């Protein structure tokens, strides 16, 4: 069933066109961050002045620092909660409320962010009001904590999907063998399961980190005065029009992602190779 030559050309052409569609906008963003012109879309030569402007832009740098803190915390929290949720769904096939649980885990993946943001905010405001009338101090005040809670909700959903698909791929016999040899459930988890799903935990962490670092809508609802994240700054500037400092931010992010993904995939491939070798050696008879 070898495809004919025109069919192959058509296939390659289609794929190339889609990849162009996906990547040309990113390329344009990067290129125009070096454009020495205040008129957008007109190339007037190379400059680094937008990067210099970026380095002294307190609003963006302050937002970036806050965003990084929130992203770190929400990635850590999402992986812990997501692993627990994925475990519940894979290991315990029957428990009270499993359908509700599974629905709640997956819903934030597709739920409109404006709805999630509004409802979480209204709940936190009610809580704040209740604590204010009871103790005189409103808790939680809008800021890092409330944004973190919102990002955790989305992060939990993504982390669960990533970890769950890995858990479903695992060979259950390995865990059963450990149990038969006398390992306690928590020992099975730390010594057998965790090393095997480690890679998926790492990708879940990275994914939820970038999702949090990028979020506009939830942060807009849940942020308070003085807690403006970087995407909120970028969003308000981008709404006004084209702005070369935004391009400069984009270039820095693209560069970081490229480096991060390259390093991560190299580390993951390396760990995978090592594990395959060890498993093969362990399985060898004699």
Partner 1 sequence: MDAPTTLAAKLRTRVHGRWVVIGVPFLWLLVFFLLPFLIVLDISLSEMGTVRPNELLSWRDGVLTLTLRFSGYSLVAQDTLYLTAYVASLKYAFWTTLLCLLIGYPFAYFMARARAAVQPALLMLVMLPFWTSFLLRVYAWKGLLSPDGWAWDLIVGLGLDPVLVALGLIPAPGKLMHTPFSLVIGMVYTYLPFMVLPLYGTLAKLDLRLLEAAQDLGARPWVAFWTVTVPLSRAGIVAGSMLVFIPSVGEFVIPELLGGPETLMIGRVMWDEFFANNDWPMASTVAVVMILMILVPLAVFHKVQAEAQEPRS
Q: How far is the CB of 52 from partner 1 (least distance, A)?
A: 20
Q: How far is the CB of 172 from partner 1 (least distance, A)?
A: 10
Q: Is 210 in the site for partner 1 (CB under 8 A)?
A: yes
Q: How far is the CB of 123 from partner 1 (least distance, A)?
A: 4
Binding partner 1 by CB under 8 A: which of 53, 109, 259, 267? 109
Q: Is 113 in the site for partner 1 (CB under 8 A)?
A: yes
Whole-angstrom Cα distance, residue 251 to residue 236?
A: 19
Q: Can you spell out the DSSP letters for 111-176? A: S-HHHHHHHHHHHHHHHHHHHHHHHSS-SSPSSHHHHHHHHHHHHHHHHHHHHHHHHHHS-HHHHH
Q: Is 14 in the site for partner 1 (CB under 8 A)?
A: yes
Site string for partner 1, 217-236 (x = CB under 8 A): x-------------x--xx-
Whole-angstrom Cα distance, residue 241 to residue 7?
A: 43
Q: Is 128 in the site for partner 1 (CB under 8 A)?
A: no
- Residue 229: CB atoms within 10 A of its CB come to 31
End-to-end Cα spacing for the chain: 44
Binding partner 1 by CB under 8 A: which of 47, 72, 101, 179? 101
Site for partner 1 in 33-72 (CB under 8 A): 40-42
Q: Is 94 in the site for partner 1 (CB under 8 A)?
A: no
Q: Is 266 in the site for partner 1 (CB under 8 A)?
A: no
Q: Is 88 in the site for partner 1 (CB under 8 A)?
A: yes
Whole-angstrom Cα distance, residue 39 to residue 145?
A: 40
CB 179 within 8 A of CB 38: no
Q: Is 194 in the site for partner 1 (CB under 8 A)?
A: no
């Amino acid at each position: 069933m070898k495809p004919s030559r025109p069919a192959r050309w058509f296939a390659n052409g289609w794929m190339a066109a889609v990849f162009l569609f996906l990547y040309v906008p990113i390329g344009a963003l990067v290129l125009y961050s070096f454009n020495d012109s205040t008129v957008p879309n007109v190339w007037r030569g190379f400059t680094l002045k937008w990067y210099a402007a970026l380095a002294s832009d307190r609003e963006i740098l302050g937002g970036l620092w806050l965003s990084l803190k929130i992203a770190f915390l929400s990635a850590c929290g999402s992986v812990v909660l997501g692993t627990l949720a994925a475990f519940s769904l894979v290991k315990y096939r029957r428990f009270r409320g499993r359908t509700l649980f599974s629905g709640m885990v997956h819903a934030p993946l597709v739920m409109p962010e404006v709805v999630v943001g509004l409802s979480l905010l209204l709940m936190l405001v009610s809580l704040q009001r209740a604590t204010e009338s009871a103790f005189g101090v409103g808790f939680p005040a809008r800021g890092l904590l409330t944004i973190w809670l919102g990002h955790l909700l989305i992060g939990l959903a993504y982390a669960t999907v990533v970890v769950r698909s890995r858990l479903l791929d695992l060979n259950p016999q390995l865990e059963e063998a450990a149990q038969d040899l006398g390992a306690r459930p928590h020992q099975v988890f730390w010594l057998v399961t965790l090393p095997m799903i480690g890679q998926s935990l790492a990708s879940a962490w990275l994914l939820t980190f970038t999702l949090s670092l990028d979020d506009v809508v939830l942060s807009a609802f849940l942020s308070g005065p003085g807690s403006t994240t970087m995407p909120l700054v970028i969003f308000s500037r981008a709404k006004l029009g084209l702005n070369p400092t935004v391009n400069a931010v984009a270039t820095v992010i693209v560069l970081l992602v490229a480096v991060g993904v390259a390093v991560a995939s190299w580390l993951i491939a390396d760990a995978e190779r090592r594990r395959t070798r060890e498993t093969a050696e362990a399985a060898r008879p004699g």
